[in-house]
Structure 1
C-alpha cells in the first residue's frame, strides 16, 4: 500500500478550506514554513501542483480540488472513528439548507431538536442557491438535486404554494368581492379564481427563474388564463415576496414551511382557495458511506417526523 506523507494531508485540507497558509498554520499550531513544507512534500509525492499562487491570491488547481474531495471524506471518517473509540458523547453534523427554509422553518424548530437529541451539535450552513454536494460544504444537505455519485437522496417534501396577504388587504378583498364571510370568499374564488387578479399580485423570480411564472402556473391549475392586466410587484426571492405581503403590497404565493396556518405570524392571512404544487421536490442528501452514523440517523428521523406533521397540517 503506497500512502502519501500522512502528516501532510490535514495540513493540505486546512490550507484548502481556509484558503490561506497563515490561517492554516494558526489553526494547526505550527509555523507557516512548516505548512509550506508539508504542502510541497505532498505535491512532490503526487507529482502534481495542488495550489496556484499569484501574489497573495491562493487557488486550488483542478488536481487539487479533485484530491481534496477524495481525502476530506476519509479524514472526517478517521476523526469520527477516533471520537467513537474515545467514547465521545457529542455528535457533530453540518447541514446545508436553503436560506428561506433555514429562516422560516428550521431555526424556529431547533429547540425541539435539541430537547429530543441534546448531544447532537448541529451547524447550519445557509445557501442562496443549490449547494455543492461535497464534504467540504457540509455533512448532509437539503436539496432538490437527485444525482451525485456516492450520495443517497431521501425524499421528504414537495413544495406547495398558496396565496397569502395582510389582514388589511384581506378585508379589502372581501369587501370588493362582496364576500361577507370566509366561506363566501371561498365560493366566489372557486367559481372565479381570476378575481384575485383584480388586486396587486406579488411574484418572486427565485421559484421558476422568471417573474410571474408562479402565478401563471397557479391560474393554469385553476383552468383559467392569467389576465393580461395584472399589476405585479416583483421581488427576486420568496422571502422578500412574503415580507412585501406582510406590508400590504399585494397577494403573495408562499409555501408550507413559510406559513403555518395553525400559528400564523406577522398578520398574514391564508386566502381560502386552491394551492399550487410547485416543481421542486426536496430531498435529504448524504453520502452512502455515512448512512448509519448516529448523528445522521437522529437528524433524519427528526426531519421526517417534523415534515410529516407539516404535510398533515
Structure 2
C-alpha cells in the first residue's frame, strides 16, 4: 500500500477549511512555516499544486478541491472510528437543509426531539439551495438529490403546490362570487380556476427559476393559459409570498411543509387542484455512518415526524441506497 505523507493530510484539510496558513497553524498549535512545509511536502508527493497563491489571497486549485472532497471524508471516518474504540459516543449532529423547510416545518417540531432524545445535540446549517452532500458540509441533509454515490436517501416528501390566501381575503372573495352567482355557497367543494384570475397572484420565481412560472404551470395543468395581463406580484422566496398572502395581498401557491391547516388558522386553502412539481425531499446521510447514534436517532425521528404530520405517505417507497 503506497500512501501519501499522512502527517500532511490534517494540515492540508485545516488550510483548505480555514482558507489560511496562519489560521491553520493556530488551530494545529504549530508554526506557520511548519504548515507550509507539510503542504509543500504533500504537493511534491502528488506532483500537483493544491493551492493558488496570489499575494494575500489563497484558494484551492481544481485538483485541490477534488483531493479535499476525498480525504476530508476519510479523515473524519478515522476520527469517528477512533472515538468508538475509545468508548466515546458522539451524538452531535450537523444537519444542512433549506431555510424554508427549517423555519416552517422542522424548528416548530424540535421540542419533540428534545423531549424524546435530549442526548442529541443538533446544529442546523440553513442553505438557500439544495445542500451539497459531503461530510465537510454536514453529517446529514434534507436534500432534493438522491443520486450521490455512498449516500442513503430516505424519501420524506413529494412536493405539490396548492392555492392559499388569508381568511379575510377569502371571505371577501367568496362574498363577491356569491353575489355574482358564480358560487352557491361560501364554502364550495370546488372552485373554477378561471375565477382566480380576478385576484392578484403572488408568484415565487425561485420554485421553477422563472417569473410567473409557478402560476403558469398551475393553470396549464387545467389547460388554462395564463393571461399576459394577469396581476402578478413576484417574490424570490415562498416565505415572502406566504407572508404577503397572510397580509391579504392576494393568492399564493405553497406546499405542505410551508402550510398546514391546524398550524396556521389565519390562512385558508382554496378548493382547487394541486400541482405536483416533481421535486422530492430526502433525508440523506452517508451509508457508512448509518450506525452512528446521532444520525440513527435523527433519521428515525424525522421519518416519524414526516409520517405523523402527513408530509410522507405511509405507502411511500423504502429508503434508497445510491
**Does TM-score exceed 0.5, indicating one fold?**
yes
Please give the alpha-carbon distance, in whole angstroms, between the structure 1 residues aligned to 2:25 and 2:36: 9
Once the two structures are superposed, what CA deviation does each residue of 1:86-130 show, in whole Å capped at 9, x if it has no partner?
Answer: 222331222111111111111222222222222222221211113
Please give the alpha-carbon distance, in whole angstroms, between the structure 1 residues aligned to 2:34 and 2:248: 60
Give the corresponding residue for 2:188: 187
Question: 1:90·1:119 contact (CA, 8 Å) conserved in 2?
Answer: no
Give the corresponding residue for 2:235: 235
Deviates more, 1:254-263 or 1:144-153: 144-153
Once the two structures are superposed, what CA deviation does each residue of 1:152-176 show, in whole Å capped at 9, x if it has no partner?
Answer: 3222210122212123312211221
Give the corresponding residue for 2:172: 172
Question: 1:158·1:282 contact (CA, 8 Å) conserved in 2?
Answer: yes
> Is 1:155–2:155 an aligned residue pair?
yes
Please give the alpha-carbon distance, in whole angstroms, between the structure 2 residues aligned to 1:57 and 1:40: 17
Question: 1:89·1:119 contact (CA, 8 Å) conserved in 2?
Answer: no
Please give the alpha-carbon distance, in whole angstroms, between the structure 1 residues aligned to 2:184 and 2:144: 36
Deviates more, 1:76-85 or 1:224-233: 224-233
Give the corresponding residue for 1:292: 291
Unaligned runs of 5+ in 1: none
Q: Decide which structure has greater helix share.
A: 1
Deviation at 1:291, TM superposition (A): 2.7
Give the corresponding residue for 2:280: 281
Give the corresponding residue for 1:37: 37
Deviation at 1:285, TM superposition (A): 2.2
Deviation at 1:227, TM superposition (A): 4.4
Cα 1:275–1:25 change in 2 (3 A) is same
Give the corresponding residue for 2:267: 268
- TM-score, structure 2 as length reference: 0.88
Deviates more, 1:216-225 or 1:193-202: 216-225
Once the two structures are superposed, what CA deviation does each residue of 1:22-65 show, in whole Å capped at 9, x if it has no partner?
Answer: 22122222222222122122222222211111011111112211
Give the corresponding residue for 1:258: 258
Question: 2:161·2:253 contact (CA, 8 Å) conserved in 1?
Answer: yes
Deviates more, 1:224-233 or 1:31-40: 224-233
- TM-score, structure 1 as length reference: 0.91
Please give the alpha-carbon distance, in whole angstroms, between the structure 1 residues aligned to 2:299 and 2:184: 39
Please give the alpha-carbon distance, in whole angstroms, between the structure 1 residues aligned to 2:184 and 2:91: 50
Please give the alpha-carbon distance, in whole angstroms, between the structure 1 residues aligned to 2:50 and 2:25: 17
- Spell out structure 1 runs of 4+ moving beyond 6 A: none
Cα 1:98–1:186 change in 2 (3 A) is same
